[in-house]
Chain A
Amino acid sequence: MNLSYYPGCSLESSAREYNLSALSVASALGLSLTEIEDWICCGATSAHSTNQLLAYALPAANIALAQQAGRDLVVPCASCYNRLKKTDHVLRNDPARRRQLEEVVNFTFTGRIGVMSLLEAFTVRIGAEEISRRVVRPLEGLRLACYYGCLLVRPHHVTGFDNPENPRSLDALMAGTGARPLSWSYKTECCGANLGLTVGDAVRQMVSRLLEMAEEAGAQAIVTACPLCQMNLEVRRPNNRNGIPAFYFTELIGLALGLKESGSWFARHIVDPLPLLRSLSLAS
């Protein structure tokens, strides 16, 4: 199956292991992801805090590129996904805004391609059953807190994906790898998003509460589908960056599929996940 791919800026730097693992795992599972050429930054929080039209125009320019490529657009970063999906929603449902955006970006919206998160693509286009069929190294004994954060599931009238208060899709994929997803009540709480640099203390408190709750539920690791969440969970934690590691879901699927390159993803983590994986005989 062929889909277009919008990595976003984080996946080119701080979340490189998310990009590498997403591409490896997708190709191992027969999902071909082609990066759209010359994509531009979605504008993120800075755009929607400053100029509303720009907050739609930057994603719309990327939707225009994807439209030319003619395939549905997959977005691994939860934050970029949220901006692109909101813009797609506005283009479909708000004719006045659509005309304005068509003028600014200089394109004609056809509505023929859809926008989805990588989590949704894995859930809907591959599915947990297929993953579990392909597992060569079941992640048995690994207890996980699946952490969705904000932007993958909210606002629900736009994302239309999973249950906004108690999402299950990531839990299902992780169960497919043989790991044990736990129930905990902080699945969709906020990690502090991009406020880490500007109001670090607030974010540190949010992150330490998330880690505490995950550990209290018995988790040995947290798994996410968002570069902002993963980064905050690793670097905005108190106690000198010890404690439970935070994975991208694609890394754990790759590990379960026995992909050799998984070691190079884990080497990029700030909180070393290898001691945990070794203790479960999942790494050497």
Chain B
Amino acid sequence: MFNSQSFIEEVKSRSGQPIELCFQCQKCASGCYMARFTDHAPNQILRYIQLGLKEKALRSSMIWLCSSCEICGSRCPNGIKMFDVMDALKKIAISNNIVAEKKIRLFNDIFLDTVRSKGRIHEALMMAEYKLRTGDLFSDLDLGLKLFLKRKLPLIGKKVKDRKYLDVIFKRCFDMERKAFAKYQVRLDGGKLN
């Protein structure tokens, strides 16, 4: 099974938040609009982390549906920014290959690939690729057409000139972040991976 102590440490280190201070007042949850569309509320996620229930936290759709509105963080009496905790959990979920909301992850990957190769987001191409790869071709078709007719989806996007530099930035970020958190990657039998 997962090593629960290393999980708590990893969440704290990635998020910088004082996880142990949460006393379950539920202020975060009561202001969170996305909570009603998910399986667990923000305060529950925090409890799972405190208890070391790694899979329960990581498998939750809440961590992906969090819209980063930061209402939770602005109201928590203990200064815990749940939003940063949600972000940390997403990254741990990715590195453990447990992603509850695959469409959101796919969207993020397509988005970042576009930034890496072109430097800027080209909304029309990105939407088209997302639609193709999810197979969900028709849900927003009339919307796409409307945007196009209003000249809001130009078919040719702008690219930045120095894309080599951009590729270096991406490479460095992924290398450095992987190294920084490698010590938390544990095997299922509890041993370290490296």
Chain A positions near chain B (C-beta within 8 angstroms): 9-10, 12-16, 38-41, 43-54, 57-58, 61, 100, 103-106, 150-151, 154-156, 164-165, 188-190, 192-195, 197-202, 206, 235, 267-270
Contact = CB atoms under 8 A, between A and B. Distances in A.
B59 to A, nearest CB: 16
B53 interface: no
Nearest to B127: A197
A206 B37 CA distance: 11
Given A155-B73, A198-B107, A235-B146, A48 B152 contact: no
A220 to B, nearest CB: 22
A181 B152 CA distance: 29
Given A48-B68, A156-B74, A193-B68, A54 B169 contact: yes
B112 interface: yes
B54 interface: no
Interface stretch (B19-27, B39-47, B159-167, B182-190): B159-167
Nearest to B94: A50
Interface residues on chain B, size class: 35 or more
B138 interface: no
Interface hub of A51, A57, A194, A198 (most chain B Cβ within 10 A) = A198
Given A13-B152, A40-B120, A46 B111 contact: yes
13 contacts: A9-B123, A14-B123, A40-B120, A40-B166, A43-B115, A49-B90, A58-B115, A104-B176, A106-B165, A150-B68, A155-B70, A155-B74, A195-B67
A104 B169 CA distance: 6
B173 A57 contact: yes
A200 B139 contact: yes
Contacts of B68: 45, 48, 150-151, 193
Nearest to A235: B143
B150 A268 contact: yes
Given A14-B152, A268-B150, A199 B65 contact: yes
A143 B91 CA distance: 44
B149 to A, nearest CB: 10
A264 B103 CA distance: 36
Given A12-B158, A13-B123, A40-B119, 8 more contacts: A39-B160, A49-B108, A57-B173, A155-B74, A193-B69, A200-B140, A202-B37, A267-B150
A105 B37 contact: no
A156 B74 CA distance: 8
9 closest cross-chain pairs (CB), A and B: A190-B69, A46-B111, A46-B108, A9-B121, A54-B173, A154-B70, A150-B69, A53-B173, A202-B37
Contacts of A155: 70, 73-74, 81
A206 B65 CA distance: 13
Contacts of A164: 74
Interface in B99-120: 101, 103-104, 107-109, 111-112, 115, 119-120
A104 B180 CA distance: 14
A73 B14 CA distance: 29
Nearest to A60: B169
Contacts of A50: 90-91, 94, 108-109, 112
Contact of A45 (B73, B108, B161): B108
Contacts of B140: 197, 200
A197 B107 contact: yes
